Amino acid sequence: MKDLKKFDLFDDGEIYKNHNIQEFYVESLRARQLIESEATKLAILNATSKELQKNKIYLPKVNRGIG
């Protein structure tokens, strides 16, 4: 996966340092966003016409905050 930085949180000299934990948290969020984005793309590509029609009705409601 591109744009994800690999690091060792439990390095001998840096066990549980605040900076590493924050970096780990940020990288975890990035990974989650990437996974969700890819899952959404695949769901759209594999959706039936009925599912696509249902989403066209549902999404405007979500945008207005009433979904």
For residue 50, is it within any domain? yes
| 55 Cβ contact partners less than 8 Å away, ≥ 6 residues apart | 47
Give the confidence band of 46 by pLDDT, cuts at 50, 70, 90.
very high
**Residue 37 CA: distances (Å) to CA of 12, 22, 32, 33, 45:** 35, 23, 8, 6, 12
For residue 2, is it within any domain? no
The CA dihedral of 34, 40, 42, 45, to the nearest 10 degrees, is -140
Average pLDDT over every residue of 24-53:
92
Tally of domains within the chain: 1
pLDDT at 60: 85
Residue ranges making up the domain that contains 22: 18-64
pTM of the predicted structure, to 2 decimals: 0.51
More reliable by pLDDT, 20 or 10: 20
For residue 7, is it within any domain? no
User: Which range (4-8, 40-44, 55-59) has the least confidence?
Assistant: 4-8
